[in-house]
Amino acid sequence: MSPNLPTELTYLEIHLDHITANVQTLRSHIGGERLICGVVKANAYGHGLIPVAKHLINIGVEWLAVVSLPDLIALRQAGITHPILLMTVVHPADLNTAMHYQATPFISSIEELLYWQAEAKRLQQGLSFHLKMNSQMNRLGLESAQLDAFLQQLNQEPFLKLTGVALHFAQADTPDLPNMQDDIAMLMQIKETLDARYPDLVYHLASSLAVRHYPQSVISMIRPGIALYGYELPHLKPALSWISHIIHIRRVPAHTPISYGAIEETTKACDIAVIPVGYADGYPREFIHTPYIIINDKPYPLIGRVCMNQLMVNLGEHHNIKRFDKVYLLHPTHFTAQHLAEASGTISYRILTGLSQHLPRRYSSSSAQEQ
């Protein structure tokens, strides 16, 4: 007889139905005729690249965006045929791979345009791309002063086809900034310049927070990431639970130090529960406020340092919690990645993308079986 598979004490549960609800909420914000490009970089913000991408396609999201060529290849190998934006610079050695897997790359300089043109010519193969303009971000992107030269070079060769123009905000989190209004104006100006010659381009700028704070930035398509997963806009549903189980409970008296460094001790007699989750799983180690763990819908404070693979929780004196009871390190309503981020002085994005790849991910809606 073969032994049992190990019990998964710790796992992530991804609520695909919440992602569906979030996409519906976004659609109602932007109006029916606008497109959605679902950003699934960083393992779909920790939620699992392939199952999330398939789910987004199933519920009608028109485009996907990644920032790595291996992610693009994984999506194609999973059978996804929708357009995929590759929002990064592709190494010259990888151009034919990107073309083989039908990337729609961002091109953000004349130099990149030249090497893509040379490759497309060598392969005698067409390539659609989106022109990425610089913004107050000053990361990737063409300076608007170079636009004419870029378009002139584009017209030298027939293989590359401009199908979209994109921009990315530096401060989408703050409403009413003149700098951001300037960026929108710049893109609208480019649209005006290009409309006659390229009437069918997709213009896109808005990330999740821009949809909220700069509705004028919603042009023909939006590129939401964090909002798909339930954060940063009102009325969204966090799509992820982080579940584990208590592996030990110890009764201790007042003034008992707990965990490494004895940085914290009990103030009165209480029960300390051990949870098999630590910073190696992506739980933060530095805090500015005490985080909570949810057990039977009630919050219990973390006590002492988070270890590599374990952490401790103060259950207090009176409770009916038992060893192997279920706990939530992240809960879609009671303690979300936003709450954990605030406790550790960071942002929800950092918590979600820090969730370790090795954590098992379970998908809690029928669409998950499609994978």
Ligand X SMILES: *Cc1c(COP(=O)(O)O)cnc(C)c1O
So which residues are the catalytic ones?
Answer: 41, 260
Among 20, 108, 134, 208, binds ligand X (CB under 6 A): 208
Nearest position to ligand X, beta carbon: 225
Beta-carbon contacts of 203 under 8 Å, excluding residues fewer than 6 positions away, are: 164, 165, 166, 187, 191, 219, 220, 221
Site size toward ligand X, by CB under 6 A = 12
Which is closer to ligand X, CB of 142 or CB of 243? Answer: 142
Beta-carbon contacts of 313 under 8 Å, excluding residues fewer than 6 positions away, are: 272, 273, 275, 293, 295, 300, 301, 302, 303, 327
**By the rule CB under 6 A, 39 interacts with ligand X:** yes
Residues 147-176 that bind ligand X (CB under 6 A): 168
Among 226, 294, 315, 340, binds ligand X (CB under 6 A): 226
**By the rule CB under 6 A, 223 interacts with ligand X:** yes
**By the rule CB under 6 A, 22 interacts with ligand X:** no
Residues 241-300 that bind ligand X (CB under 6 A): none
Q: Which amino acid is it at 340?
A: L
Which is closer to ligand X, CB of 162 or CB of 270? Answer: 162
The answer to whether the annotation marks 308 as part of a ligand binding site is yes
Q: Determine the interface stretch with ligand X among 49-57, 144-152, 224-232, 246-254 (rule: CB under 6 A).
A: 224-232
Which is closer to ligand X, CB of 104 or CB of 207? Answer: 207
Which is closer to ligand X, CB of 36 or CB of 306? Answer: 36
Separation between Cα atoms, residue 246 and residue 276, nearest integer Å: 7
Map tokens 């970089």 to a residue.
41
**By the rule CB under 6 A, 209 interacts with ligand X:** yes
Query: Distance of CA 241 to CAs 138, 174, 301, 303, 315, Å?
Result: 36, 28, 18, 21, 21
Which is closer to ligand X, CB of 133 or CB of 302? Answer: 133
**By the rule CB under 6 A, 88 interacts with ligand X:** no
Among 51, 141, 224, 238, binds ligand X (CB under 6 A): 224
Separation between Cα atoms, residue 194 and residue 150, nearest integer Å: 13
- In what order do the strands lie in the sheet containing 361-363? 298-301, 292-295, 326-330, 240-245, 11-14, 361-363
Q: Determine the interface stretch with ligand X among 7-15, 185-193, 206-214, 248-256 (rule: CB under 6 A).
A: 206-214
CB of 69 to ligand X, least distance (A): 15
Which is closer to ligand X, CB of 266 or CB of 348? Answer: 348
CA dihedral 314, 318, 322, 323 (to 10 degrees): 30
CB of 41 to ligand X, least distance (A): 6
Q: What are φ and ψ of residue 219, in 5° steps? A: -105, -105
Separation between Cα atoms, residue 34 and residue 179, nearest integer Å: 25
**By the rule CB under 6 A, 313 interacts with ligand X:** no
Q: Determine the interface stretch with ligand X among 95-103, 148-156, 207-215, 359-367 (rule: CB under 6 A).
A: 207-215
**By the rule CB under 6 A, 29 interacts with ligand X:** no
**By the rule CB under 6 A, 72 interacts with ligand X:** no
311-316 and 270-275 beta bridge pairing: antiparallel
The H-assigned helical ranges of the chain are 16-30, 41-45, 49-58, 69-77, 95-100, 110-123, 147-154, 178-195, 208-213, 337-343, 348-353
Q: Determine the interface stretch with ligand X among 53-61, 119-127, 222-230, 260-268 (rule: CB under 6 A).
A: 222-230
Beta-carbon contacts of 69 under 8 Å, excluding residues fewer than 6 positions away, are: 86, 90, 94, 97, 98, 101, 103
Residue ranges of the annotated binding site are 139, 308
Binding residues vs ligand X (CB under 6 A): 39, 41, 87, 168, 207-209, 223-227
Residue ranges of the annotated binding site for substrate are 139, 308
